[in-house]
Copies of this chain bind each other. A is one copy, B any other.
Amino acid sequence: MSTNIIQGRLKSLGIELPSAGQPAASYVMAVTCGNTVFLSGHIAKHQGEPWVGKLGNDMDTTTGQAAARSIAIDLMATLQQHLGSLDKVKRIVKVMGLVNSTPEFTEQHLVLNGCSELLFEVFGEVGKHARSAFGVAQIPRGACVEIELIAEI
């Protein structure tokens, strides 16, 4: 029985999943298509509000990594609500990470490691994903990082 394996790992990491976010308009946070689950882009939040900042300006790489890690937790919360159990995840397939960046900031890949490393800690080899990271002009509500995810179930 694989029940609660991932929950156990989250617990040992001291992570409690928050309640999943709700979309603000005519879209949803997750859609299953065959064996593939597509999650909406999740923006970084801090105490329930958008985690505002621009890398290369008013936020450093270490803080960006913490924001990316917090999004990984929110993505797992959405997956859990959508699937019922994170043990149904066969593979984290793909992560796309957008970093709110000045035209000079070039460490988007290091920022995204905050997300990638937590997914690996929680899911193990199954958590190793393909990834794209890049710097964008802005993100809804001024958030510092936004990440979307594709998983196989």
Contact = CB atoms under 8 A, between A and B. Distances in A.
Contacts of A59: none
Q: Can you tell how many copies of this chain the complex includes? A: 3
Interface residues on A, range: 35 or more
A87 interface: no
Given A140-B107, A142-B106, A27 B128 contact: yes
Interface string A123-153: 0000111111111111111100010101010
A14 interface: no
Interface of A: 23-31, 33-36, 38-41, 54, 56, 91, 93-96, 98, 101-109, 113, 116-117, 119-120, 127-142, 146, 148, 150, 152
